[in-house]
Amino acid sequence: MSNHALLFIGAGLYLALGGIAGFVTINAILLLWLAIDRFRQDRNRLAMILIAVCALVLVVQQIGFVIVIVLISLGIYYLRARPQGAGNGESRHRLVLNMRQDRQSWVLHSMSFWHAFGEIRLDLSLAIPEEKETVIVLQGIVGNIDLIVPEDYGLDVEASTLLGQVGLGKQTEGGFLHRVRWRSPDYESKEQKVKLQLFYLVGNIRIRPI
């Protein structure tokens, strides 16, 4: 009986939202959600292509809404581009951001990026930090973020997605309007600290202590 009730409620919401936003938009959002979930499970390339296609459909179908979101997102970016403690870190905005630092040693410094679409993989265990406390701010419309953080680092995390998933260690939660706020209990006493501020409209965020 409960399954039938949920089915009727789901069908009603689908028809109502489809009538308001358009069925193409609603279908694109549903497919986007499924594609993000599939990509999180096995990094499937087809799922990544579907994410890009659905995002493009949403842009085309709701161009006015997308423009508003981009402007708001840019405004938030500029407010957070130089957060307290970030020093003179790198600060940029790009349409597409593809950043990989997971194969050899690299220099870790505070940074702040806004982008429309991006894939970012950072292995901090391979990094040579410039500061005792590093601030990393990543914001965008669609993003796939994979961060590896050594367990001996003090970690301060603030991450949120309008649609998508946020994983911290072995715990992963997802859905609509999801937010994670967490800080190492011994953060202040750690010799090396990192603050992560991650904000996406559609995102798959993984933070893995090792």
Q: Tens of pLDDT along 68-81?
A: 666 665 565 455 54
**pLDDT score for 106:** 93
**pLDDT score for 81:** 44
Cβ–Cβ < 8 Å for 172, 164: no
What's the sign of the alpha-carbon dihedral 118, 123, 128, 131? Answer: positive
Strands of 133-149's sheet, edge to edge?
Answer: 90-101, 111-123, 133-149, 193-209, 154-168, 171-183
What does the pLDDT look like over 190-204, one tens digit per residue? Answer: 989 999 999 887 888
Among 51-65, 97-111, 116-130, the minimum mean pLDDT is found in 51-65
What does the pLDDT look like over 134-150, one tens digit per residue? Answer: 999 998 888 899 999 99
Looking at residues 71-96, what average pLDDT do you find? 58
Task: Give the type of residue at 91.
Answer: S
Cβ–Cβ < 8 Å for 61, 28: yes
Q: Please tell me what DSSP assigns to residue 126.
A: G
- What are the φ and ψ backbone dihedral angles of 203, each rounded to 5 degrees? -150, 155
Looking at residues 106-122, what average pLDDT do you find? 89
**pLDDT score for 82:** 45
Where does the pLDDT of residue 86 fall: very low under 50, low under 70, confident under 90, or very high at 90 and above?
A: very low
